Amino acid sequence: MTDILKRLEKEILLLDGPIGTELMARGIAAGEVSELWVLEKPDVIAEVHKSYFDAGADIVLTNTFGGTELK
């Protein structure tokens, strides 16, 4: 965490983009629980995250948008 704070003092850090949209482009069906892909298709999740790093993201978030008890 200290490294991130030091970097923020000097620069703007870029975060990743929408995971859901990227999973849709890779074949996730409407209504399918995207968080299950972390377990069932980790290679696809890694590919999405790598694409964000390759595009210049400094930080990539986990695929847990709907990972709640309510969902």
Write the pLDDT tens digit of every residue in 38-69: 899 999 999 999 999 999 999 998 877 776 77
Give one word for 56, left, alpha or beta, with left for phi > 0 and alpha for psi -120 to 50.
left
Write the pLDDT tens digit of every residue in 21-42: 899 999 999 888 888 898 999 9
**Which pLDDT score, from 0 to 100, does residue 33 have?**
86
Give the residue among 64, 65, 48, 54 at the shortest CA–CA distance from 14. 54
**For 63, which DSSP code?**
S
**CB 19, CB 63: distance < 8 Å:** yes
Give the whole-angstrom CA distance, residue 63 versus residue 35: 6
Residue 71 reports pLDDT greater than 70:
no
Can you give the pTM of this predicted structure?
Answer: 0.79
